Amino acid sequence: MIPETLEKDVLEWIATRPDDVVFSPREGFFSFEMIVDAFVKGQEKGAANFKSEAEEKLRVKFLDNAKKGIDNYNLLADFLSGKKTQVEKLFLNNSLQGTSILVSIDPSVYTTDSINDFYAFISKLEVTCFKEGFNLNIGFISESESIDYNLLKADGYTFAYNVKEQKKVY
């Protein structure tokens, strides 16, 4: 028969043990504190690894979208060049969802019939990309000295390139 005071005596004895006795391993056994600490450290390491892997996947997706955007810009630039129209500036809005491209062209082009061909070509590019699972949006703006870069940045166009001068604007 187990004495009634045994549980009380054992708990009292445990409560009075010095920390170095309680938290030290004993012949292959580990204290509760050490197990919890190991679990927490493992959880933190796992979370850090997951975050690192997730960030890398997102970075790769972002870069892939930028590359697809540039590839499609090159197709557009070649098409426009064949129609005797040059891109003045290129603006990119790249995200995990896709890429938006804005190109500035000479304002006189808007009054020609060619503008309809431009939009038809853009539509084909966008539909092709959509079918491939890539969201592409392309638009035109008139080239002028009054392009408000701050507004373009606010709209997410965080990269600008002067094609004529072959230099980054921002």
For 130-157, what is each residue's pLDDT tens digit? 999 999 999 999 999 889 999 999 999 9
Q: How far apart are CA 135 and CA 8, in angstroms?
A: 69
For 27, left (φ over 0), alpha (ψ -120 to 50), or beta? Answer: left
Strands 135-142 and 159-162: unpaired
The percent of residues in the chain predicted with pLDDT above 90, rounded, is 62
Confidence of residue 166 (pLDDT cuts 50, 70, 90): very high
DSSP for residue 134: -
Close Cβ partners of 109 (under 8 Å, ≥ 6 residues apart): 85, 115, 118
Q: Is the pTM of this model over 0.75?
A: no
Q: Which two tokens stand for residue 48?
A: 């850090």
Q: Quick one: the chain helix, strand, coil %, rounded to 5?
A: 55, 20, 25
Q: How far apart are CA 105 and CA 98, in angstroms?
A: 23
**Phi, psi torsion values for 14, nearest 5 degrees:** -65, -40
Pick from 140, 144, 160: which is nearest to 83 by CA? 140
Q: Is the pLDDT of residue 22 over 90?
A: no
Q: How far apart are CA 166 and CA 3, in angstroms?
A: 91
